[in-house]
């Protein structure tokens, strides 16, 4: 991921997507071979096209996202980081973002190694467990942790899955289970502004092993 603050602006759309010419190979390199692609797919957000206040006068902001393998021994980001950054600056020229390098005034690159070590994201896999059929929805780890009573999990690696709207649902599910286990009757009507809770006498404590 790259955040760039650049001098000037590009008269290009807000959202820009490039799909690798050999997309199957690109996916195979990410998912199976765990190597970096020579023609990565990528997304460029040129948000200053929509909102000029995102950057100081005469400047604009670019956000570049290239899907790559999660942390794997095949890729040493301390060695690959610089070359991959240069490759991405060449790649984005394919969509019209030419001559970006000389205009960069601020730059921030975040690799899977950074997500892993700086942000505690397991293996730098920002989308968590893959969305394969065998680990989606109810096949993801359940919100009431099955190995330890009284432990609840939530987030992208949990039922129902990754992506912010789904993660909010995961939070709702975990909260509901927790409140249920503590003996609260929860009114989760969609129309309610906030869930109302009422404690019942029976089952007022969760059971622990």
Q: Which of 11, 120, 134, 201 binds ligand FAD (CB under 6 A)?
A: 120
Q: Does 121 bind ligand FAD (CB under 6 A)?
A: yes
Q: Which is nearer to ligand FAD, 2 or 55 (CB)?
A: 2
Q: Which is nearer to ligand FAD, 58 or 165 (CB)?
A: 165
How far is the C-alpha of 185 from the C-alpha of 174, rounded, in Å?
14
For the CB of residue 142, give the shortest distance to ligand FAD in the complex, in Å. Answer: 15
What does each C-alpha distance from 44 to 18, 31, 119 come to in angstroms?
8, 22, 23
Segment 126 to 165, residues that bind ligand FAD, using CB under 6 A: 126-127, 155-156, 162-164
Radius of gyration of the chain (CA): 22
Q: Which is nearer to ligand FAD, 155 or 183 (CB)?
A: 155
Angle at alpha carbon of residue 90, lines to 85 and 96, rounded to 5°: 130
Q: Does 16 bind ligand FAD (CB under 6 A)?
A: no
Burial grade of 73 (CB within 10 A; 0-12, 13-18, 19 or more):
exposed
Q: Which is nearer to ligand FAD, 145 or 183 (CB)?
A: 145
Taking the CA atoms of 102, 80, 16 and 57 in sequence, report the sign of the dihedral they define: negative
Decide: 24 and 47 in contact? Cβ < 8 Å: no
* CB-closest chain residue to ligand FAD: 155
The residues binding ligand FAD (CB under 6 A) are 1, 65, 119-121, 126-127, 155-156, 162-164, 167
């Amino acid at each position: 991921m790259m955040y760039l603050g650049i001098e000037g602006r590009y008269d290009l759309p807000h959202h820009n997507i490039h799909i690798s010419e050999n997309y199957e190979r690109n996916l195979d390199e990410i998912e199976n071979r765990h190597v970096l692609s020579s023609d990565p797919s990528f997304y460029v957000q040129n948000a200053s096209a929509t909102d000029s206040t995102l950057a100081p006068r005469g400047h604009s902001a670019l956000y570049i996202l290239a899907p790559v393998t999660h942390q794997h021994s095949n890729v040493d980001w301390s060695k690959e980081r610089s070359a991959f950054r240069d490759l991405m600056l060449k790649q984005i020229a394919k969509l019209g973002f030419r001559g970006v390098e000389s205009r960069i005034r601020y730059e921030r690159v975040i690799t899977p190694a950074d997500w892993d070590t700086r942000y505690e994201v397991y293996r730098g896999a920002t989308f968590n467990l893959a969305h394969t059929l065998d680990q989606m929805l109810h096949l993801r780890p359940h919100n009431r942790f099955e190995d330890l009573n009284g432990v609840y999990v939530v987030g992208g690696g949990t039922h129902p899955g990754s992506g912010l709207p789904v993660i909010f649902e995961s939070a709702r599910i975990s909260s509901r289970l927790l409140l249920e286990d503590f003996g609260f009757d929860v009114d989760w009507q969609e129309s309610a502004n906030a869930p109302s809770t009422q404690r019942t006498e029976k089952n007022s404590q969760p059971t622990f092993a």
